[in-house]
């Protein structure tokens, strides 16, 4: 028995030698695959997920239409028996037109008088969007020693959090006739 923090013995009990690191095979089966096999396996999994996702969505939409033919936006439930319920949440995506169109429409609503300005104010909220092009320009200017860009970026750091997103991966097939 060894003391905590001391080196382990070179041999195991009963004179067995400790395995050499090179003899230990990886437990990850992907390590034994060549690049082509690994990429083909990934593409198969990706295609299977895409098909399963599309099939599930088609089935989900069908079931909602069949079981709740008059469903409106919101949550609807149906008793299935033995305490089980089928719950459908019907949603719609609301997308506004370009900002200039929205601003003109809100101006028209506001011009209707009385409650028009109040409705126009409550109908749309504005959300800040990060514009990476301007940020990249500031980074370039900082690299060149621009003091104003450095000051601006120091302020931006107080309001901006950057996190790594999931990587994208695609296998691009050659264009027809270029093999």
32-54 pLDDT, tens digit each: 999 999 999 999 999 999 999 99
Q: Which pLDDT does position 85 carry in this prediction?
A: 94
DSSP 8-state code for residue 144: T
Residues 6+ apart with CB under 8 A from 12: 18
Give the model confidence (pLDDT) of 81-135 as tens digits. 889 999 999 999 999 999 999 999 999 999 998 899 999 999 999 888 899 999 9
The predicted pLDDT at position 100 comes to 93
Instruction: Note the pLDDT of residue 7.
Output: 59
Buried b (16+ CB within 10 A) or exposed e, 106-144: beebbeeeeeeeeebeeeeeeeeeeeeeeeeebeebbee
Decide: 33 and 41 in contact? Cβ < 8 Å: yes
* 157 pLDDT higher than 60: yes
DSSP H or E run through 75: strand 74-81
pLDDT at site 35: 94
Q: What share of the chain in percent tops pLDDT 70?
A: 85
């Amino acid at each position: 028995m060894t003391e905590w923090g001391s080196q382990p013995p070179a041999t195991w009990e009963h004179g067995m030698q400790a395995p050499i690191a090179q003899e230990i095979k990886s437990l990850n089966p992907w390590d034994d695959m060549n690049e082509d096999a690994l990429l083909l396996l990934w593409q198969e999994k990706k295609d299977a997920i895409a098909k399963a996702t599309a099939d599930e969505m088609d089935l989900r939409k069908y079931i909602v239409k069949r079981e709740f033919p008059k469903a409106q936006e919101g949550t609807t439930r149906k008793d299935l028996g033995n305490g089980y319920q089928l719950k459908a949440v019907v949603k719609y995506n609301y997308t506004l037109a370009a900002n200039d169109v929205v601003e003109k429409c809100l101006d028209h609503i506001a011009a209707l008088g009385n409650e028009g300005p109040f409705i126009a104010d409550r109908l749309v909220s504005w959300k800040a969007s990060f514009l990476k092009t301007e940020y990249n320009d500031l980074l370039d200017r900082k690299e060149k020693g621009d003091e104003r860009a450095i000051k601006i970026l120091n302020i931006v750091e107080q309001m901006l959090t950057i996190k790594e997103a999931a990587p994208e991966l695609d296998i691009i097939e050659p264009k027809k006739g270029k093999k």
